[in-house]
Each structure stands twice: as structure tokens, then as C-alpha cells.
Amino acid sequence: MAHQIYLTDGIILKKRDFGEADRLFWIYTEKFGMIMASAKGVRLEKSKLRGNLDVFTFGDFAVISSKDFWRLVDARETISPKLNHDSAEQPRLIGRRVKVFANVTNLMTRMIKGEERNEELWTRLKNLFLGLFPAHRGNKNTTMKDLKDLEIKSIAAILKTLGYMQEIPASGKVLISAINRAIKESML
């Protein structure tokens, strides 16, 4: 029986090993929202998919729908934080970029339950990713404060998009309080 292969852009948010050589991936996709996809044998040295399936990789994914979850059959890495950084940039700042994205995506994986396409959320996540890890660095003057502000604003925008916040306050301290209150009230 032939299965339909679906092609979509996505960003790998999380992965977990299972079995001898298999791995589960949580991928936020443009067409399907958050999906959990299994990839058979990707931990083996000979796996062709292995190099394109790192956490926080933006790429093109080919998936097949099965009863319980998706099966990943092909992937092409487009942008990866490990490849797309300026060698002159401070290592601490590069690490901070990854930490900002990790914090935002950890919150997303907690707050999003089930599959549902959400164009606004996809656009916010994609823009955050491309802002943190552009293919060609344009802004060499990014500071730690800029990254912290970007993290806070991104989390607030995502919480608002998911319906956990009504408005995004302009003030920094009020915004952080609103974020903390939204997370606490979600009970997640």
C-alpha cells in the first residue's frame, strides 16, 4: 500500500532516542503545526538523514502520516545554528542565541498540545529563527540585552498567539509579570 508523502518546511524543536537506532523528532511545520515524527535508523553511521536532523535545524521535511505519529522519510537542512554564525562573533553571544531559541521552543512544546496548523505561530517562530540565525549576518552589533529583549518579546507574542495572553504590555517589568502570570494560569 502506497502512502502519500507530504513536503513541508519546519524547524526541529526537540529529539529523543528510542530503540537501537531510531529517533523521535518534534518538528514545528508550516503545513501541519507541531508534529512528532519518527525516523528509522538515523543514529546509524550509514544513515543519509543523520546530518540533516539536528535540533534547531530549519529545513524541508518529507513525512508520511501513520496511525500514531508521522514518519520522517527525507530531510534537507536549509539553516542550522552550528553552520550559520560569524566566526568573528563572540562564542558567548552565539551560545546566547541558541539559548534564546531553546527557551522559546521549550515553552512552545509545553504549551502546544496536538497537531493544528497555525500560520501566525509558524511566522513568529520562523522570523525568530531567521533573526537569530540568518544565512548571512547583517547586524554585527547585537548585544546580550538585545537577545534578552528578543526572547521576552517572542515569548509574549507566542503566548498571545496561543490565547494565553490578551494583550502585550509595552513596559518591560509589566510584560515579564504578564508572561509569568499567563504561564502560571495555563497550569502547564
69 and 37, same structural domain? yes
Task: State which of 13, 47, 79 marks the end of a domain.
Answer: 79
pTM of the prediction?
0.86
72 and 95, same structural domain? no
**Mean local confidence (pLDDT), 13-40:** 92
**Mean local confidence (pLDDT), 55-71:** 89
Confidence check: pLDDT of 147 > 80: yes
Q: Which of 33, 178, 175 is nearest to 109 (CA)?
A: 33
Confidence check: pLDDT of 118 > 60: yes
Residue 123 lies in a domain: yes
Looking up cell 537501537, which residue turns up? 20
Could you list the residue range(s) of the whole structural domain that residue 58 is in?
5-79
**Mean local confidence (pLDDT), 135-143:** 63
Residue 79 is predicted with a pLDDT of: 79
Rank 81-90, 103-112, 129-138 by mean pLDDT and report only the highest.
Answer: 103-112
**Mean local confidence (pLDDT), 119-126:** 94
Confidence check: pLDDT of 187 > 90: no
Residues forming beta bridges with residue 127, ordered by sequence position:
none
98 and 44, same structural domain? no
Residue 16 lies in a domain: yes
165 and 103, same structural domain? yes
62 and 13, same structural domain? yes
Residue 140 lies in a domain: yes
CATH number at residue 62: 2.40.50.140
Query: pLDDT by residue (tens digit) across 104-113?
Result: 999 999 998 8
35 touches 75 (CB < 8 A): no
